[in-house]
Amino acid sequence: MAPVRLRNTKGSNATEIEKKIKRGNALRQGSAWRSTRGLLVLLLLAVLGAGVAAWFYLASLDSDITETLVSQRELISPQPRLYTVPCSEDYENHKRHPGCTPQKCGRAVTDSVVTGEEAQVLRRLAERGLALAGSEGGASILDLHSGALSMGKQFVNIYRYFGDQIRDVFTPEDFQLYRDVRERIQAVIAETFGLDPNLMYLTKPTFFSRINSTMAKTQHDEYWHPHVDKVTYGSFDYTSLLYLSDYGSDFTGGRFVFMDQNGNRTVEPRAGRVSFFSSGSENLHRVEKVTWGTRYAITVSFTCDPAQAISDPALP
């Protein structure tokens, strides 16, 4: 705006006009500031709103658990607790094997297959094996079948890498217990889903896992992503997990979460607990990030395809 010139001849009138101009400028500046302040407030609210929405979205991954299927405190015995769900179409993309391919789908939990003492022995086996190396990130695996062991950002074969020294780490009794437990898990899955256990076969990968809160260093450490076992591995028809540590006392986080359309449902690990389920999209799942402590488990997987079968592990 062009400056206003005041003539001295007007005297008090000039002074009055000058006051009005200053007052008008002040009012315009105040109005502009209020307008700007309003925009800033709106912008701030929008940013805060977006931040809150993002927080709720991320938090919902772990907090949107609408049902706890089995808590750590419960003891599910002698019969498994079974929750049936409709089978997905995933199995139609693979050759069907009568007597084994899922016709009845669901998820189940039992605490009567493996004793607490056996779980402790298997955990010590896992601890000894994983102490040989381990991932730089928060997730390490030990596969007694293939010999795969996390080491830094890669894997090594323990049988080739350590040779005969591996007999100082594992004993024949360790491997015998591992086979016995595998047979019992296979039997309870067959009984629960109405299968012929002789038509079920152990398949890969079957492995021990150790998970803690260390930051992930490679994609192998990112265990928490939702996935479907049948889609990820192909050979899986039935998946089981044997927990070797207790939720709440050995670790926090790390619960197993089934992600259904109408809400999430979780299983809280308990040493000796076996959770098992049909491996198709009807059981989309993930594991919560471990926030404290160390979570030990064994994933034992089964196929209906004899061409995908693997043998029980044996000391070289």
Look at residue 51 and tell me whether its pLDDT is greater than 80: no
In the chain, the amino acid numbered 207 is F
Length of the chain equals 316
DSSP code of residue 96: -
Closest CA to 200 of 237, 230, 233: 237
Structure token digits, residue 175: 């491997």
Alpha-carbon 123 to chain mean position: 20
DSSP H helical ranges for the chain:
12-63, 116-130, 158-161, 172-193, 229-233
Please determine, for residue 17, whether its predicted confidence score (pLDDT) is greater than 50: no
Of the listed ranges 20-29, 72-81, 181-190, 258-267, the least confidently predicted one is 20-29
Question: Which pLDDT value is given to residue 268?
Answer: 98
29 in Cβ contact with 36 (< 8 Å) = no
Q: Which has the minimum average pLDDT: 140-144, 216-220, 228-232, 307-311?
A: 216-220
Cβ atoms 76, 110 nearer than 8 A? yes
Could you tell me the two tokens for 118?
């056996």
Provide the 3-class DSSP secondary structure of residue 79: coil
Closest CA to 224 of 246, 266, 257: 257
Least confident of 62-76, 176-190, 259-273, 280-294: 62-76
186-245 residue pLDDT tens: 999 999 999 999 999 999 999 999 999 999 999 889 999 999 999 999 999 999 999 999
Quote the mean pLDDT of the chain.
86
Residues serving a catalytic function are 295
Cis peptide leading into residue 78 (ω within 30°): yes
95 has pLDDT over 50: yes
User: 315 and 172 in contact (C-beta within 8 Å)?
Assistant: yes
E-assigned strands of 164-307?
201-211, 238-243, 251-253, 256-260, 263-267, 274-278, 285-287, 290-293, 295-303
Tell me the C-alpha distance between 212 and 268, whole Å.
16
**CB neighbours of 52 closer than 8 A, spacing ≥ 6?**
none
Query: pLDDT at position 94, please?
Result: 87
Q: Which two tokens stand for residue 204?
A: 């890969």
DSSP label at 90? G
Q: How far apart are CA 119 and CA 111, in angstroms?
A: 11
Q: Looking at residue 64, what is its pLDDT?
A: 60
Is 221 in contact with 209 (CB distance < 8 Å)?
no
In three state form, how does the secondary structure of 104-162 look? Answer: CEEEEEECCCCCHHHHHHHHHHHHHHHCCCEECCCEEEECCCCCEEEEECEEEEHHHHC
Asked if 216 and 139 touch (Cβ cutoff 8 Å), the reply is yes
pLDDT at 53: 43
State residue 93's pLDDT score: 84
User: 114-128, pLDDT tens digit by residue?
Assistant: 999 999 999 999 999
Among 21-30, 198-207, 223-232, 273-282, where is mean pLDDT lowest? 21-30
